[in-house]
């Protein structure tokens, strides 16, 4: 069947699509590199005509035209599931965060969120079968489309066509309107070289990896350093199951480390929910049958992760306290990042047979010229708990690894003091003593501690 006639009937301009939005509407954009761009630019031209239009998005990877057009948020108010780079200058002004566990995003979209009046998702061109592909982000596109009154696709020829998986494509008969975009380049992110501290933390983790591990890398210098070191190691037959597919996986694949041959779920496939990285990365995932793009309620479901033996999860955080509580979202009350999938993988990896979950942070940070410990007696006032003490598995600094599982409060405090910067250890011991979680000292200066 020739689907081009159907395509032509549904084709409208970005300006015409923007006119479908009414005051008071909820509008949902696609995730990451699938975020609407030309539509948002056209909608911003209607600023004076509209009030109280609420836009919901997760890591919108492009310029936020509507947010820029209305700094007070009277006409357009953004809501972010995470708060990415483009969101940060608007947070607390005309953009607000929606707390979530990432694997619950599609469920919340279908069950708890105010239904979308309009959903707009950037997609690849239609294929001969009448299908469009969500490209690098299958996270929650279908959940948004299922709950929207009006569905609009914004076609961009530069998006990679990513094979699935599940919920990675949509048919021409399942949407209301099509916009042919300006085909702007899709967003890329770089991967900086790891610092000396990040490389040291990565080294401790590498020592605990073995052939056949299935690896999830989060955002941050240490996960990136692990990927680079794996690429240069003797490890083999590694698997991939992750929310975010980044350039570190490409490096590992090119080095022959990734085969997925030992995975007991989705064997031989590199599984992910969204991709963000270099143009080379997008070219690699384009039409690549070795990868499978899934919705995030599959990739990040702790019950699914737990089924994969020898799972290793590597993420980063901002600070931890002596109870083992982890903050990866805020500095005090200042928003830095969302919960994302960290808790999903912390819980899922631990429940995997032989699974390991690592959360990494340098032991110190310099603030206004003053060295400050990132291991604290208690979290900073207002700091958000991303991982409760009951979930935290292994914490890593440049001084070693501390295992929180099965440890009493004094054992946790002792293990964390031993991976804190030496300058702050006595101070932390004194604080632990005041809180009645200190029993004795087993500090070993200058040693790698694995509790």
pLDDT at 259 > cutoff 50: yes
Query: Considering 140, 156, 180, which residue would you say is the last residue of a domain?
Result: 180
C-alpha 206 chain-centroid distance: 22
Query: What are 210's strand-pairing partners?
Result: none
DSSP 21-77: --TT-EEEE-SGGGB-SHHHHHHHTTGGG---EEEEESS--S--HHHHH-TT-SSEE
Total tally of structural domains belonging to the chain = 2
pLDDT digits (tens, 9 = 90+) for 277-320: 999 999 999 999 999 999 999 999 999 999 999 999 999 999 99
Catalytic residues: 243
pLDDT digits (tens, 9 = 90+) for 147-203: 999 999 999 999 999 998 899 999 999 999 999 999 999 999 877 788 899 999 999
Both 148 and 224 in one domain: the answer is no
User: Which pLDDT score, from 0 to 100, does residue 225 have?
Assistant: 86
- For residue 272, the SS3 value is strand
Give the closest residue to 65 by CA, choosing from 133, 18, 11: 18
Both 424 and 290 in one domain: the answer is yes
In a domain, 325, yes or no: yes
pLDDT digits (tens, 9 = 90+) for 330-340: 999 999 999 99
52 C-beta neighbours (distance < 10 Å), count: 13
What average pLDDT does the structure give for the chain? 94
Both 60 and 200 in one domain: the answer is no
pLDDT at 447 > cutoff 50: no
Query: Considering 149, 180, 211, which residue would you say is the last residue of a domain?
Result: 180
Determine contact, residues 170/145, Cβ cutoff 8 Å. yes
In a domain, 390, yes or no: yes
Of residues 391 and 189, more confidence is placed in 391
User: Which pLDDT score, from 0 to 100, does residue 220 have?
Assistant: 74
In a domain, 385, yes or no: yes
User: Which pLDDT score, from 0 to 100, does residue 291 have?
Assistant: 97
Both 308 and 446 in one domain: the answer is yes
pLDDT at 406 > cutoff 60: yes
pLDDT at 76 > cutoff 80: yes
pLDDT at 323 > cutoff 60: yes
Both 168 and 202 in one domain: the answer is no
In a domain, 215, yes or no: yes
User: Which pLDDT score, from 0 to 100, does residue 293 have?
Assistant: 97
Instruction: Tell me the pTM.
Output: 0.95
Q: Average pLDDT of 236-241?
A: 98
* Structural domain containing residue 270: 196-450
**Cα 324 to Cα 329: distance, rounded to the nearest angstrom:** 15
pLDDT digits (tens, 9 = 90+) for 23-56: 999 999 999 999 999 999 999 999 999 999 999 9
In a domain, 124, yes or no: yes
Q: Average pLDDT of 232-239?
A: 96
CATH code (residue 215): 3.40.1080.20
Buried b (16+ CB within 10 A) or exposed e, 322-344: bbbbbbbbbeeeebebbbbbbbb
Both 207 and 136 in one domain: the answer is no
In a domain, 188, yes or no: no
Both 50 and 92 in one domain: the answer is yes
222 — pLDDT class (breaks 50, 70, 90): confident
User: Which pLDDT score, from 0 to 100, does residue 57 have?
Assistant: 96
Both 297 and 346 in one domain: the answer is yes
pLDDT at 448 > cutoff 70: no
pLDDT digits (tens, 9 = 90+) for 104-135: 999 999 999 999 999 999 999 999 999 999 97
**Cα 325 to Cα 11: distance, rounded to the nearest angstrom:** 51
367 C-beta neighbours (distance < 10 Å), count: 9
Rounded to 10 degrees, the C-alpha dihedral 239/243/245/249 comes to -30
Of residues 183 and 220, more confidence is placed in 183
Q: Average pLDDT of 347-375?
A: 96
Both 165 and 223 in one domain: the answer is no
Query: Considering 180, 213, 239, which residue would you say is the last residue of a domain?
Result: 180
Q: Average pLDDT of 348-360?
A: 97
User: Which pLDDT score, from 0 to 100, does residue 123 have?
Assistant: 98
In a domain, 185, yes or no: no
**Cα 114 to Cα 102: distance, rounded to the nearest angstrom:** 18
Task: Give the pair of three-digit tokens for residue 71.
Answer: 């700094």
CATH code (residue 161): 3.40.1080.10
Of residues 92 and 262, more confidence is placed in 262
In a domain, 190, yes or no: no
Both 296 and 176 in one domain: the answer is no
Question: Strands across the sheet with 319-321, in order?
Answer: 326-327, 319-321, 375-376
Pure H helices in 293-362 = 296-299, 302-305, 342-351
Both 200 and 176 in one domain: the answer is no
Task: Give the pair of three-digit tokens for residue 282.
Answer: 């997008």
Of residues 430 and 165, more confidence is placed in 430
Both 311 and 248 in one domain: the answer is yes
Element (H, E) at 179: strand 177-180
Place of tokens 């021409």: 172
Element (H, E) at 106: helix 105-111
User: Which pLDDT score, from 0 to 100, does residue 1 have?
Assistant: 76
């Amino acid at each position: 069947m020739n689907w081009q006639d159907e395509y032509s009937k549904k084709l409208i301009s970005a300006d015409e699509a923007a006119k479908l939005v009414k005051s008071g509407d909820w509008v949902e954009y696609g995730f990451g590199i699938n975020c609407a761009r030309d539509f948002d630019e056209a909608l911003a031209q209607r600023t004076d005509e509209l009030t109280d239009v609420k836009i919901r998005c997760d890591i919108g990877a492009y310029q936020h035209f509507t947010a820029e057009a209305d700094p007070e948020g009277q006409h357009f108010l953004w809501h972010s599931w995470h708060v990415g780079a483009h969101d940060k200058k608007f947070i607390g002004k005309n953009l607000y965060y929606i707390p979530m566990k990432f694997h619950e995003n599609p469920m919340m979209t279908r069950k708890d969120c105010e239904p979308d009046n309009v959903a707009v998702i950037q997609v690849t061109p239609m294929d001969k079968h009448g299908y469009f592909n969500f490209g690098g982000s299958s996270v929650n596109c279908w959940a948004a489309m299922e709950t929207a009154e009006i569905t609009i696709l914004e076609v961009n020829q530069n998006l990679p066509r990513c094979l699935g998986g599940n919920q990675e494509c949509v048919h021409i008969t399942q949407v209301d309107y099509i916009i042919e975009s300006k085909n702007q380049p899709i967003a890329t992110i770089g991967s900086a070289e790891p610092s000396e501290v990040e490389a040291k933390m990565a080294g401790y983790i590498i020592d605990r990896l073995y052939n056949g591990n299935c690896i999830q890398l989060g955002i941050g210098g240490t996960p990136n350093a692990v990927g680079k070191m794996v690429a240069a190691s003797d490890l083999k037959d590694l698997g991939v199951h992750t929310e975010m597919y980044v350039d570190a996986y490409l490096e590992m694949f090119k080095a022959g480390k990734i085969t997925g041959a030992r995975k007991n779920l989705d064997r031989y496939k590199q599984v992910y929910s969204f991709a963000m990285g270099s143009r080379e990365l997008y070219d690699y995932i384009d039409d690549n049958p070795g990868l499978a793009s899934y919705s995030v309620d599959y990739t990040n479901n702790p019950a699914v992760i737990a089924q994969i033996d020898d799972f290793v999860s590597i993420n980063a955080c901002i600070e931890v306290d002596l109870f083992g509580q982890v903050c990866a979202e805020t500095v005090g009350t200042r928003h830095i990042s969302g919960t994302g999938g960290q808790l999903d993988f912390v819980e899922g990896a631990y429940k995997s047979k032989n699974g390991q979950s690592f959360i990494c942070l340098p032991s110190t940070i310099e603030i206004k010229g003053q060295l400050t410990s990132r291991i604290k007696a208690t979290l900073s006032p207002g700091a958000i708990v991303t991982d409760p003490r009951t979930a935290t598995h292994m914490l890593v600094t440049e001084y070693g690894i501390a295992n929180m599982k099965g440890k009493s409060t004094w054992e946790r405090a002792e293990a964390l003091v031993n991976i804190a910067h030496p300058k702050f250890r006595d101070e932390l011991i004194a604080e632990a003593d005041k809180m009645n979680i200190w029993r004795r000292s087993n500090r070993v200066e200058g040693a790698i501690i694995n509790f």
